[in-house]
Amino acid sequence: MAAPAEVDFRTRLQDSLPRLVLAPSFAATLLFVYGFILFTVYLSFTGSKMLPNFTWVGLENYRKLWALDAWWIAISNIAVFATLYIVICTAIGLTLAIFLDQKIRGEGLLRPIYLYPMALSFIVTGTAWKWFLDPGIGLEHTMHLWGWESFSFTWIKDRNMAIYTIVLAAVWQTSGFVMAMFLAGLRGIDNEILKAAQIDGASNWQLYRRIVIPMLRPAFLSAFVILFHLAIKSYDLVIALTGGGPGRATELPATFMYSYTFTRNSMGIGASSAVIMLMTIAAIMVPYLYAELKEKP
Amino acid sequence: MSAVTQDTAVRTGRVTRTFIYLVLLLFALFYLLPFFVMLVNSVKPLAEITGGNMMALPRTWTFEPWHSAWSTAQIGVEPTGLKPYFINSIIMVVPAVAISTVLGALNGYVLTKWRFRGDTWVFGLMLFSCFIPFQIVLIPMARMLGLMGLAGSTPGLVLVHVVYGLGFTTLYFRNYYAAFPTELVRAAMIDGAGFFRIFWRIMLPVSGPIAVVSVIWQFTNIWNDFLFGASFGDQDSQPMTVALNNLVNSSTGVKEYNVHFAGAILAALPTLFVYIVAGRYFVRGLMAGSVKG
């Protein structure tokens, strides 16, 4: 008599097994990602200082945040950094990919050279570039030793220029990766289309301008999405390269959030800056992911 | 006809080709230079660095900076060198990579071969977590680790890296398994094979390439992480990146550049090694990583 019930139980278990297997990961995501996001959002409406407390202060933190010079510096820095970083990486990546795609001898050697910086930690990249850019012993010093006495390159010590050193090092680290994305896109284009266009008398320039680059649209989109979220998340590189200085010249929202939350004991303001960072990324990522996942029913 | 399709349609003249090679070589130089400079200066005595030319090869070769970076340099308050932190990183990375890859494989399997209502939403929510700025979870995570008694410990960091790596590993395996014929899974089901048996006998044997990708990706990401290590690690669990930053940025007195470089290269070695050995899969995997349904 017990047998059918047992079978029933076993099939039910078998039926729900896949969901049971997925459950721990999904639960962890819900708690550690979405639960934590809600918690931080909530904190941003409280008067938390060194430790979280739960006195509701409404939009007070956001009002304070947008009144802070330091925040405005961080915001204008991220705007400059993200724009240049994305544009330059894309330009270099695309150029290198197109050039590498011309049946280059030694492609197998060049590709890993372009790509290896991506395997490094931003702390390592920062250490290397910090020294390379140091006027006292780095590039400037070397140029002087080589007899170019008037050579001057002091961006890293210059409040107005330091942010561009962050761009330089970040581009060095990621542009090779963008190259790989475009190269994969180029290799996926059907040569017959190009040949047909050539028979119609298209020049190389027209070929790329009118046919190849429009066909790389998906690669452009993925490159943009990846670079954009990397730019907003940039933290380690600033810490290693300039420490946010000179002064506050290279402070970004990520470093702002960290210092307000953990060293300046203004957790409420730190939380509200994190919320703004998340909203910026979500504004790009949510529509992108929605479109990507929607495609396939 | 097929022979014609092989070569590229674009023809370039001699001048253009020279220009192309020139640009490609210049960029190769740009990417190699900083690393070359670090390497060369890590085997010079300090006097040769501060007084000399950074591009020049060492006049006196010395491996003292490497020895110092590894075992005697001042990190924070202790003159321990980077060695204990290197070990911390290894102890943290190995379980974190293994756990997140296994879970990613199972998740990808469920999401493609055992689909259920709302599975795309589940996946979408997990995927979005790859892109969040981690600042948004720092405060509650610190509290949670404290509550769990894992604050400042290696298991705590493993947990953090597993949780925030799951989105990527799941993405990789899902995309990979999506291309695997579902009919084979159906046939096995009809033959009476259960969930785990199908995974073990059918999916796992073909998972090699994507497992390599997932392992390399997770390894480089976790090894190179700084934010979580700096926020949630303490003396006994801080990873290599945090120690390197301490070495380079807080050394009092004379800045021993050669030791800093040796340390930086030591911190880069494991990921560079993995990249050189398995780089080809790495690139291919990053291509697969672009979010395609």
Q: How far is A1 from chain B (nearest CA, A)?
A: 24
Same-domain check for residues A110 and A193: yes
Q: What pLDDT score was predicted for residue A296?
A: 56
Q: Do A292 and B292 touch (CB under 8 A)?
A: yes
Same-domain check for residues A147 and A271: no
> Is the pLDDT at A28 greater than 80, yes or no?
yes
Same-domain check for residues A133 and A272: no
Q: Is B272 an interface residue toward A (CB < 8 Å)?
A: yes
Number of domains in chain A: 2
A252 domain-assigned? yes
Nearest chain B residue to A49 by CA distance is B139
Q: Do B264 and A127 touch (CB under 8 A)?
A: yes
Q: How far is A214 from chain B (nearest CA, A)?
A: 17
Q: Do A128 and B264 touch (CB under 8 A)?
A: yes
> Is the pLDDT at B6 greater than 80, yes or no?
no
Same-domain check for residues A82 and A216: yes
Q: Of the candidates B158, B263, B246, B279, which has an alpha carbon nearest to the alpha carbon of residue A113?
A: B279
Q: Is A278 an interface residue toward B (CB < 8 Å)?
A: yes
Q: What are phi and psi of B101, to 5 degrees?
A: -70, -45
Q: What pLDDT score was predicted for residue B252?
A: 67
> Is the pLDDT at A195 greater than 60, yes or no?
yes
Interface test with A, best of B18, B35, B131 (most A CBs within 10 A): B131
Q: What pLDDT score was predicted for residue B153?
A: 92
Q: What pLDDT score was predicted for residue B232?
A: 92
Q: Do B10 and A207 touch (CB under 8 A)?
A: yes
Q: Is A247 an interface residue toward B (CB < 8 Å)?
A: no
Q: Is A200 an interface residue toward B (CB < 8 Å)?
A: no
Q: Is A276 an interface residue toward B (CB < 8 Å)?
A: no
Chain B, residues 26-85, CB within 8 A of chain A, namely: 27-28, 30-35, 37-38, 49-50, 52-55
> Is the pLDDT at A7 greater than 80, yes or no?
no
Q: How sure is the predictor about B12, in pLDDT bands with cuts at 50, 70 and 90? A: confident
Same-domain check for residues A159 and A271: no
Same-domain check for residues A145 and A216: yes
Domain hosting A54: range is 33-67+266-297
C-beta contacts of A249-252 below 8 A and 24+ residues apart: A249/A73, A249/A77, A249/A159, A249/A160, A249/A162, A249/A163, A250/A77, A250/A162, A250/A163, A250/A165, A250/A166, A251/A70, A251/A73, A251/A74, A251/A77, A252/A74, A252/A77, A252/A78, A252/A81
Q: What pLDDT score was predicted for residue B283?
A: 66
Q: Do A293 and B286 touch (CB under 8 A)?
A: no
Q: What pLDDT score was predicted for residue A12?
A: 75
Q: Is B292 an interface residue toward A (CB < 8 Å)?
A: yes
Q: What pLDDT score was predicted for residue A4?
A: 59
Q: What pLDDT score was predicted for residue A263?
A: 87
A92 domain-assigned? yes
Q: How sure is the predictor about B154, in pLDDT bands with cuts at 50, 70 and 90? A: very high
User: CA-CA distance, A74 to A69, in Å (whole number)?
Assistant: 9
Q: How far is B191 from chain A (nearest CA, A)?
A: 15
Which range is least confidently modeled, A6-10, A77-81, B55-59, B217-221? A6-10
Who among A172, A180, A194 is closest to B9 (CB)?
A194
Q: How sure is the predictor about A294, in pLDDT bands with cuts at 50, 70 and 90? A: confident
Q: Is B195 an interface residue toward A (CB < 8 Å)?
A: yes
Highest mean pLDDT out of A3-17, A254-268, B271-285: A254-268
Q: pLDDT > 70: what percent of chain A?
A: 97
Q: How sure is the predictor about B292, in pLDDT bands with cuts at 50, 70 and 90? A: very low
> Is the pLDDT at B286 greater than 60, yes or no?
no
> Is the pLDDT at B9 greater than 80, yes or no?
no
> Is the pLDDT at B149 greater than 60, yes or no?
yes
Who among A34, A233, A270 is closest to B133 (CB)?
A233
A19 domain-assigned? no
| pLDDT tens-digit readout, A210-254 | 888 998 888 898 889 889 989 988 898 999 898 887 888 899 999
> Is the pLDDT at B288 greater than 70, yes or no?
no
H-assigned helices in chain B? 2-6, 14-41, 46-51, 64-67, 83-113, 119-128, 135-147, 154-178, 182-190, 195-198, 208-224, 227-232, 240-249, 257-289
Same-domain check for residues A278 and A209: no
Who among A24, A102, A117 is closest to B8 (CB)?
A102
Q: What pLDDT score was predicted for residue A194?
A: 82
A249 domain-assigned? yes
Q: What pLDDT score was predicted for residue A136?
A: 80
Q: What pLDDT score was predicted for residue B3?
A: 35
Q: How far is A2 from chain B (nearest CA, A)?
A: 22
Average pLDDT along chain B: 86
A277 domain-assigned? yes
SS3 B152: strand
CA A98 to chain centre: 23
Chain A, residues 118-137, CB within 8 A of chain B, namely: 119-125, 127-132, 137
Q: Is A218 an interface residue toward B (CB < 8 Å)?
A: yes
Same-domain check for residues A56 and A127: no
Same-domain check for residues A271 and A258: no
Size of interface A-B (CB pairs under 8 A): 287
Whichever domain contains A163, its CATH number is 1.10.3720.10
Same-domain check for residues A224 and A272: no
Same-domain check for residues A46 and A86: no
A12 domain-assigned? no
Q: pLDDT > 90: what percent of chain A?
A: 44
A17 domain-assigned? no
Q: What pLDDT score was predicted for residue B5?
A: 36
Q: Is A156 an interface residue toward B (CB < 8 Å)?
A: no
Q: What pLDDT score was predicted for residue A72?
A: 94
A273 domain-assigned? yes
Return the bridge partners of A56, or none. A46
Q: How sure is the predictor about A3, in pLDDT bands with cuts at 50, 70 and 90? A: low
| pLDDT tens-digit readout, B21-51 | 999 999 999 999 989 989 998 998 888 887 7
CA torsion B40-B45-B51-B56 (nearest 10°) is -20
Same-domain check for residues A95 and A153: yes
Q: What pLDDT score was predicted for residue A297?
A: 47
Q: What pLDDT score was predicted for residue A6?
A: 66
Average pLDDT along chain A: 88
> Is the pLDDT at B253 greater than 60, yes or no?
yes
| pLDDT tens-digit readout, B181-213 | 889 999 998 888 888 999 999 999 988 888 888
Q: What ipTM was reported for this prediction?
A: 0.86
Q: Which domains are assigned to chain B?
A: 83-289 (1.10.3720.10)
> Is the pLDDT at A271 greater than 60, yes or no?
yes
User: CA-CA distance, B83 to A124, in Å (whole number)?
Assistant: 16
Q: Looking at residues B247-259, what average pLDDT do you find?
A: 79
Which range is least confidently modeled, A84-88, A104-108, B12-16, B73-77? B73-77
The DSSP letter of residue B206 is G
